[in-house]
Amino acid sequence: MILHHPQPKPEPWSTVRSQVKGRWKIPFVATEYACDWAVFLLSNWSFLETLEYLSSLSILIAVILYFGESDSRVKQRHYQAWQVINTAQGKGGSGGRIEALQELDEDKVPLTGVDVAEAFLQGLKLDHANLIRANFHNADVRNGSFVSADMADSNLAGANFRHANFHQASLHGADLSDADLGGANLEAADLGGTNLENTDLLGANLQGLRWEAISSVKGTNLYGVQNAPSEFVAWALQHGAVQLVPASAVAKP
């Protein structure tokens, strides 16, 4: 803040002029003398100080309004994100949905029932997200991350989750039929009531998998699974699972 201190009144011009030695200095001294008078007059004008206080007050009001309207801005941002997601329903490609979904999740907005079927969502990161009853049918979510996410009762059928991370995720009651989870991390994931018919688990990490209540493993490919819980593979094979060697692993003659 600029502090206004009344300045002393300049001496008469005749006094100042008499102290100047050299006529060539007079224009410069006259200019400085005029400035002294301007400073004197302005420093004694209380209106300027009033304007300064009003300026400071306006800044304070702007700050208060900014924080006061923050909730409205957040709601507007969420509305726009949902618009992006809902407008692109049933369409291929990303359409900005990766950013929209991650932004909502970062703001702790539940994504319950979100529909991103057939979307291109490679690298999507929704750790700890609430994705109960979400629809990822036939979506491409390779290298996605769903650490500790709740995906209970979700439709994940036919989706490509190759190399995705489901560490400690809840897939309870989800439909993973015909899904590709090759190389996925299912460590400590909950598959209670999950439908794994024709699901490809090629090379997936099954360490600590909660598998006891899986609803179906008919046609599930268990070839190369890693760290599978004791008795899981034997149980699954008895209930229709298979161990199909991928074509890339078959030696050429």
Q: What is the rounded distance in angstroms from the CA atom of residue 101 to the CA atom of residue 121?
A: 10
Residue 57 has pLDDT above 60, yes or no: yes
- Contact (CB, 8 A) for 243 and 237: yes
Neighbours of 43 (CB within 10 A): 15
DSSP letters for 17-58: HHT--SGGGHHHHHHHHHHHHHHHHHHT-HHHHHHHHHHHHH
State how far the alpha carbon of 170 is from the alpha carbons of 62, 67, 116, 220, in Å.
46, 37, 19, 19
Task: Look at residues 191, 193, 231, 189 and name the one whose alpha carbon lies nearest to residue 208.
Answer: 189
The angle subtended at Cα 243 by Cα 237 and Cα 249, nearest 5°, is 170
Q: Between residues 179 and 89, which one has the greater pLDDT?
A: 179
pLDDT on residue 253: 45
pTM passes above 0.85: no
- Tell me the average pLDDT across 22-40: 70
For the chain, what is the mean pLDDT?
86
Question: Is 108 in contact with 126 (CB distance < 8 Å)?
Answer: no
Q: Is the pLDDT of residue 70 over 70?
A: no
Residue 122 has pLDDT above 90, yes or no: yes
d(CA 59, CA 35): 30
Q: Going from the N-terminus, what domains does the chain have, and what CATH number goes with each?
A: 23-68 (no CATH), 71-253 (2.160.20)
Residue with tokens 């989706």: 159
Q: Which of 46-55, 73-82, 110-119, 197-206 has the lowest mean pLDDT?
A: 46-55
What tokens appear for 180 in the block? 């590709």
Which residue bears the tokens 């929209």?
100
For residue 89, what are the contacts with CB-CB under 8 A and spacing of at least 6? 115, 116, 117
| Average confidence (pLDDT) over 213-226 | 97
Q: Identify which of 96, 163, 171 has the alpha carbon closest to the alpha carbon of residue 131.
A: 171
At 246, give phi and psi (nearest 5°). Answer: -65, 150
